[in-house]
């Protein structure tokens, strides 16, 4: 599942942009979100609430680790009024 940035329009969400299409690993999706927000600092209307929905599958035999959600990424999300949803799906990779 890709990372999808969605606009909150009340009772539902409207897809705005799809990042990392067909990617089920968490790290590349977080990196794609970070890269997109860097490249498009004014790409989202701050008057709306936005969600970056990252759908991922857990790594087989994973014992820890994962992507860094840096302070800079959190600041970019705050500036763009973006929340991050982490949606875990088993057996999709």
Number of domains in the chain: 1
pLDDT value of position 59: 83
Band the pLDDT of 1: cuts 50, 70, 90. Answer: confident
Residue 93 domain flag:
no
Q: What is the mean pLDDT of the chain?
A: 92
| pTM given for the model | 0.89
pLDDT value of position 19: 97
Q: Containing domain of residue 30, as a range?
A: 3-88
- CB under 8 Å to 77, separation ≥6 — which residues? 37, 52, 83, 84
Residue 81 domain flag:
yes
Residue 35 domain flag:
yes
Residue 16 domain flag:
yes
Judge whether 81 and 50 are in contact, CB under 8 Å.
yes
Averaged pLDDT, 62-78 = 90
Band the pLDDT of 46: cuts 50, 70, 90. Answer: confident
Residue 32 domain flag:
yes
Residue 72 domain flag:
yes
- Please tell me the distance from the alpha carbon of residue 44 to that of residue 81, in angstroms, as a whole number: 8
Band the pLDDT of 64: cuts 50, 70, 90. Answer: confident
Distances in Å between the alpha carbon of 51 and those of 6, 17, 56, 75, 83?
A: 5, 11, 15, 15, 5
């Amino acid at each position: 599942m890709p990372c999808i940035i969605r606009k909150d329009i009340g009772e539902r969400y409207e897809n705005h942009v799809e990042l990392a299409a067909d990617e089920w690993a968490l790290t590349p999706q977080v990196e794609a979100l970070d890269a997109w927000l860097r490249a498009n600092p004014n790409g989202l209307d701050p008057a709306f609430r936005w969600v970056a929905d990252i759908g991922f599958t857990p790594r087989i035999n994973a014992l820890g680790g994962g992507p860094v959600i840096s302070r800079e990424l959190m600041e970019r999300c705050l500036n763009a009024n973006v929340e991050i949803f982490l949606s875990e799906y088993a057996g999709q990779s």
